[in-house]
Amino acid sequence: MNIKPLGDKVVIKPLKVEEKTQSGIVLPGSAQEKPHQGEIIAVGSGVLNDKGDRVPLEVKPGDKVVYGKFGGTEVKLDDEEVVIIAEKDILVVLG
């Protein structure tokens, strides 16, 4: 996949959702909650500050992150679901 987000945008590959509970109950697709964690696969070049200087993003490809439930846009690229989101909608980087 070759993708280059613009400005402060980040492309995230959501983590897979478990289809079974710990007790072994299989969950139908409608009962599964969408993941809000993922791995960053591409980042934009950053935003311009008031002086016109480009400020790079704090996150980088490979970072595992938690993002807001209603943030971003879901897109299908090369048969793979990804989320395009603004850096400000990323809540934390997981260590």
Q: Per-residue DSSP letters for 8-73? A: TEEEEEEPPPPSB-TT-PBPPGGGSPPP-EEEEEEE---EE-TTSPEEPPS--TT-EEEE-TT-SE
pTM: 0.79
**Cα distance between residue 92 and residue 95, in whole Å:** 9
pLDDT in tens, 21-47: 677 777 665 555 666 899 999 999 999
> Looking up tokens 């993941």, which residue turns up?
35
pLDDT in tens, 52-89: 999 999 999 999 999 988 878 999 988 899 999 999 99
| 15 within 8 A of 33, measured Cβ to Cβ | no
